[in-house]
Amino acid sequence: MPALDYQTAFHLAPIGLVLARDRIIEDCNDQLAAIFGRSRESLLGQSFAVLYPSPDEFERIGERIPPIMTAQGSYADDRIMKRANGELFWCHVTGRSLDLSVPHAAGVWTFEDLSATRRVAVVLTPREREVLQHVATGLLNKQIAANMGIAEITAKIHRGQAMRKMSARSVAELMRKMEALAIVHVPR
């Protein structure tokens, strides 16, 4: 029987695991590579940016992580990520920093592919998706704008564009469609 040690557990874990420093993948397991359709070797030394749909989303989420991680001790969200073949998919991401005063300096991250239960059905921009995440929690345009660091009118425009793309005439209808299409999880 083979020895069960931390390195073996890391590499055999059923979810994607990453050891990161300054948002660079220092080590990852084969499950992470499989989730993103890449080889483990091709990911080592790469920026997390290669896993995101756009550089803008990589930057925005990177800015959002430190205050939440510092306040809560860890960070977690569901977000759309990108496989090597360009396919977009939902992924649950969780991270913990070794030093909460410098959240991106060094940490451990998990990635869980949600595509079996949640598909990307409507093509929304990164900002529209982010606004909808806030709408799903019941926030108003003014609160969404404050959370995202944008003008209230900008939040309203993104929300309106998302509603048009989803053919929703009201927020209630938007919420039903978002949940039915698994665009966001609607808390109850």
Task: Tell me the pLDDT band of 181, cut-offs 50, 70 and 90.
Answer: low
Tell me: pLDDT of 16 over 90: yes
Cα 93 vs. chain centroid, distance in angstroms?
Answer: 6
> Angle CA(79)–CA(92)–CA(82) in degrees, nearest 5?
50
Structure tokens at 71: 């306040």
State the Cα–Cα distance between residues 188 and 186, nearest whole angstrom. Answer: 6
State the Cα–Cα distance between residues 157 and 133, nearest whole angstrom. Answer: 15
Looking at residues 165-176, what average pLDDT do you find? Answer: 78
- Residues making up the chain, counted from first to last: 188
Asked whether the beta carbons of 38 and 84 are under 8 A apart, the reply is: yes
Give all domains of the chain, ordered by start, each with its CATH number. 6-113 (3.30.450.20), 126-180 (1.10.10.10)
Residue-wise pLDDT for 32-66, tens only, equals 999 999 999 999 999 999 999 888 889 989 999 99
Task: Tell me the pLDDT band of 183, cut-offs 50, 70 and 90.
Answer: low
Residues 6+ apart with CB under 8 A from 134: 143, 144, 147, 148
Whole-number pLDDT of residue 118: 66
Whole-number pLDDT of residue 2: 66
